[in-house]
Amino acid sequence: MRIIFLRKEYLSLLPSMIASLFSANGVAAVTDSCQGYDVKASCQASRQSLSGITQDWSIADGQWLVFSDMTNNASGGAVFLQQGAEFSLLPENETGMTLFANNTVTGEYNNGGAIFAKENSTLNLTDVIFSGNVAGGYGGAIYSSGTNDTGAVDLRVTNAMFRNNIANDGKGGAIYTINNDVYLSDVIFDNNQAYTSTSYSDGDGGAIDVTDNNSDSKHPSGYTIVNNTAFTNNTAEGYGGAIYTNSVTAPYLIDISVDDSYSQNGGVLVDENNSAAGYGDGPSSAAGGFMYLGLSEVTFDIADGKTLVIGNTENDGAVDSIAGTGLITKTGSGDLVLNADNNDFTGEMQIENGEVTLAAATP
């Protein structure tokens, strides 16, 4: 299944938009409390806790819905969902925005610095910024767990930025999902980090960790679509500087695509400066600076006339590397350029269409 979304050009302005909302004391300009879920004027929201119900927010053009500076010794710094709850954040028309900033959950077993969703709860988020959120455990910004029920989209994020989010002692610096189906389209992941302090089992997925631990061989594995999405400057103390993926029985499926609508930089999308240490002291090619695959199948689907570049030839070869096992397939008539040391990928690679260029990075 392929889902195509249109890219909004104003995403390139998001760093300055974030800065404009902050002062020396945190979020400055937006102080009024929200009155209901139909946001007509910028407002600060309180922590939301939902169990088995639906909550839909609508943000009017030019207005901001802000979830900020919340600290909890429990999962879900700003939003907590369980028992199939449904939560959406959508612009009323074109320019309504939502910001999750500086939300924190403490304790190594508490997850989802901004949002925690379990038991097949669903998230539908459009025009959203996650900045500076911290989880003591997994999912610096978002933690989402489900059961891979067929036909359901557990997490959908469109036109968004994840910047400076941290999983302090877990996985998924920005997003951790398990047993889920995920759509990410027109998203920027920048400078997110996954750390570990106590074991060699955490610290994976500097930006995103998408895994499946269902041991029932008859149960379908999860899948993730990553469309027109950039990964830069993400780091993992474990494996997968930008992306970590693994499964227990059936392979987890990931589709990384650049579609016809992508027009930034002349149609060239660049992922660079992502690194993983593999629990060592510096970048490791065996840890997968860009991506580490366990039992997973990854498809790079690049549209005609478009190019996806992973890595920079001036960097150390371990930066933006791809490692692990699994299967990589190149489809689409566009080009894939890999500028890193990918010798630690020991799985299979199939080129069905287009070209794959392997460029030499700095040893």
- The domain spans of the chain are 1-30+49-203, 219-229+239-275+282-363
> Is the pLDDT at 158 greater than 60, yes or no?
yes
What span, in angstroms and rounded, lies between the C-alpha atoms of 293 and 227? Answer: 18
Name the H helices within the chain: 14-20
Residue type, 102: N
> Is the pLDDT at 295 greater than 80, yes or no?
yes
What span, in angstroms and rounded, lies between the C-alpha atoms of 102 and 126? Answer: 19
The pLDDT of residue 361 is 59
The pLDDT of residue 199 is 64
> Is the pLDDT at 343 greater than 80, yes or no?
yes
Count Cα neighbours of 42 within 13 Å in the Cβ-side half-sphere.
14
What percentage of the chain carries pLDDT values higher than 70?
87
> Is the pLDDT at 280 greater than 80, yes or no?
yes
In this predicted model, what pLDDT tens digit does every residue of 71-129 receive, in sequence order? 999 999 999 999 999 999 999 998 999 999 999 999 989 999 999 999 989 999 999 99
